[in-house]
Structure 1
Amino acid sequence: MTNTTLTAIRGFRVGHWTNAVGVTGCTVILCPDAGAVASASFLGPSPATREGVLLSPEKKVERIHALLLTGGSAFGLAAASGVVRVLEERGVGHETPFARVPIVPAAVVYDLGVGDPLARPGDKEGEAAARSASADPVPRGRVGAGTGTTAGKYLGGPGAVPGGLGSVMLERHGVSVGALAVVNPIGDVLDERGGVLAGPGTGPGAVSFTPGDVENTTLIAVVTEHTLSKAECRRLADAAQAALGRVIHPSHTYWDGDAAFMLSSCALPPADPLLLGALVQEAVCAAVRDAVRRANSLGG
């Protein structure tokens, strides 16, 4: 089977833990043992993250060793501890005088109202996801962090549809990127022609939207082997956020806390920055559409 998901990018592995009954889960992206240069872009008023500040370009640590995307709102951040434990056992981490310290940023989606609000990924669930990580094609749809996600929520609960988790790999002229999306926006997801792929399609205003009715966040991870600095990763993370505006409408609302991560293993020479930026944005759009198509068993 040809791998057309994020794990087609050499050195990166993905694992899920899924609770189909409680309707939540978590997803771990493991980097090469030497880590990956990484940065991130956070938009929206309520991002829930771990190690988010560390990813700012001016901060000292450049490489991370894994990335956790999880359901369970802020409770789900506890799953990162299990990922750290697995990496420590394997001798993977940032070198310090007394221990190798695994650097594992994390970001969450709010899925507490979809299934059992007490079914939250924690330490053991994060460990299970990390131990299951492989370079096999990424399982997609209602799995991992995408298990309890929904899209198109501006009309309230009745208009929401499953959001899911999607992943793609794009390659052009010898330059390649992989993307993974956990899709939980308030807005509609649009297809390649701008039509509504998932959501009510009426646009906001058909009913009065009450702040606090729903919580929303779309999480994006993009990886590449092409060498990037931390500042360049930040600029590409910003580009990934901009791509959400092409595929989600409305995007980046007051009720969305979107997070985009850019990771580089630096295993290959730098790529044409214009081509790389274009591929990042195309991959983000494709991963978001892949998520909702698989979560809703849609063609295309």
Structure 2
Amino acid sequence: MTSFSSVQDLLDHQGHIARVKGIRVGQFTNARRPTGCTAVLCAEGAVGGVDVRGSAPGTRETDLLHPSNLVQEVHGIMLAGGSAWGLDAATGAVRWLEEQGAGLNIGVGRIPLVPAAVLFDVMLGDMRIRPDATAGFVACQSSHTNRPAEGSVGAGAGAVVGKIFGHERAMKGGIGTASFTVDGVTVGAIIACNALGDVFNPFNGELMAGARSADGQQLRSTRDALLAGEEPRPILAGSNTTIGVVATDAIITKAQAHRLAVVAHDGLARSINPVHTMSDGDSLFALGTGQSSKSLGMMTLSTLAAEAVAVATARAILLAQSVQIAGQATLPSYQDFNAKN
């Protein structure tokens, strides 16, 4: 595994979720407004799990992933912006997968199963522009096994972090990916970070992005501000959320996929503070394709999952791009903010 000691180490990381055998990733970014969707596809089927930690989630078909429920495999996960409207993107993925002959065989045809989660990005620009079924279909059409684009693209196109003292003091979020391989088994993650809280380097604790001071020139540190008694702004429930997928090509059971989704949140906790708040809908999915024909112990798989999520979350911030919307304050990216400071 790679040793991380600096931001450059995080930027130099070469792993990505599409290195997991049986996984393809496609993305759609809407040029008319910062929003989009990201499709993580496993057309040959994968056991799945999910763990929802935030108190304001927007999800689709998560119940079928419970270990006690009948369905054993899903065929993709859709991550999208657009709040509740963005769930429509999963319909496009279902249509595309059906055209590829993928899905649960029901005798008269196949039903692709595509759980989904959304984040709230409708404060940037015209909220009437959001991912729909066509966006989801286009994302799937573009899917491949190369490294997915990162930063302000796909489900992370409209992501914003550090909003606890107001949207105008926040910074740009995004989407990132990472993976690690041990003994021929790969575990990867892709994370769209739209957190209410600040984002830290998970390995040295450096505050990288989040709420800024009143003049916008310095990072305020939400944790320090709250501990000092500074009152947060009123926050619209669900107006944040970090969502993502952890995938492995190890042979795992549905119950183990659920546990991978649970422990993957440890990676969010290392990178985001505060995390899993009443105004976040933080949701992580887990997929197991089994295509390495190998298995590792759950301790190793869990460690790899949390590590991949932590790195992917940091990369989502490091590779984000500043955004300027007419009539709204400029939201700086990590790179632009640090260049000025």
What TM-score results when the alignment is normalised by the length of structure 1?
0.95
Partner residue, 1:154? 164
Contact 2:208 2:334 in 1 (8 A): no
Contact 2:57 2:238 in 1 (8 A): no
Distance 2:88 2:238 in 1: 22
Q: For residue 4 of structure 1, report the CA deviation from its aligned partner.
A: 2.2
Q: For residue 277 of structure 1, report the CA deviation from its aligned partner.
A: 0.8
**Between 170-179 and 264-273, the greater mean CA deviation after superposition:** 170-179
Cα 1:110–1:162 change in 2 (3 A) is same
Q: Deviations over 1:126-174 (max 9, x none)?
A: 1100111011111111000000001111111122111100001112344
Cα 1:8–1:74 change in 2 (3 A) is same
Distance 2:281 2:71 in 1: 24
Q: For residue 197 of structure 1, report the CA deviation from its aligned partner.
A: 0.9
Q: Are residues 1:23 and 2:34 paired?
A: yes
Contact 1:7 1:138 in 2 (8 A): yes
Contact 1:115 1:148 in 2 (8 A): no
Choose the corresponding residue for 2:119, options 101, 109, 116: 109
Cα 1:148–1:17 change in 2 (3 A) is same
For the pair shown, the structure with the greater C-alpha radius of gyration is 2
Q: Are residues 1:98 and 2:98 paired?
A: no
Choose the corresponding residue for 2:50, options 15, 40, 47: 40
Distance 1:28 1:7 in 2: 11
Cα 1:135–1:158 change in 2 (3 A) is same
Partner residue, 1:5? 16
> SS of 2:148's equivalent?
coil
Q: For residue 44 of structure 1, report the CA deviation from its aligned partner.
A: 2.0
Pairwise CA RMSD: 1.6
Distance 2:182 2:172 in 1: 31
**Between 208-217 and 120-129, the greater mean CA deviation after superposition:** 208-217
Amino acid paired to 1:247: S
Deviation above 6 Å: which 4+ runs of structure 1? Answer: none
Q: Are residues 1:264 and 2:288 paired?
A: yes
Q: Are residues 1:202 and 2:221 paired?
A: yes
Amino acid paired to 2:301: L
Instruction: Calculate percent identity across the aligned residue pairs.
Output: 38
Distance 2:221 2:175 in 1: 24
Partner residue, 1:166? 176
Contact 2:163 2:210 in 1 (8 A): yes
Q: For residue 76 of structure 1, report the CA deviation from its aligned partner.
A: 0.7
Matches within 5 A, 1:1-300: 4-31=15-42, 33-191=43-201, 192-200=203-211, 201-203=220-222, 204-205=225-226, 206-212=230-236, 215-267=239-291, 268-295=293-320, 296=333, 298=335
Contact 2:34 2:157 in 1 (8 A): yes
Q: For residue 292 of structure 1, report the CA deviation from its aligned partner.
A: 0.3
Q: Give unmatched runs, 5+ long, in structure 1.
A: none
Distance 1:176 1:133 in 2: 19
Amino acid paired to 2:55: P
Q: Deviations over 1:63-102 (max 9, x none)?
A: 1101100001010111111111111111100011321000
Q: For residue 119 of structure 1, report the CA deviation from its aligned partner.
A: 0.7
Amino acid paired to 1:258: D
Distance 1:177 1:214 in 2: 29
Distance 1:264 1:117 in 2: 35
Cα 1:254–1:104 change in 2 (3 A) is same
> SS of 2:258's equivalent?
helix
Q: Deviations over 1:165-204 (max 9, x none)?
A: 0001112344321110000110000112112111134225
Distance 2:205 2:334 in 1: 19
Partner residue, 2:325? none
Q: For residue 297 of structure 1, report the CA deviation from its aligned partner.
A: 5.8
> SS of 2:138's equivalent?
helix
**Between 206-215 and 80-89, the greater mean CA deviation after superposition:** 206-215
Distance 2:55 2:116 in 1: 17
Distance 1:174 1:128 in 2: 32
What TM-score results when the alignment is normalised by the length of structure 2?
0.84
Distance 2:138 2:287 in 1: 23
> SS of 1:7's equivalent?
helix
Distance 2:95 2:14 in 1: 29
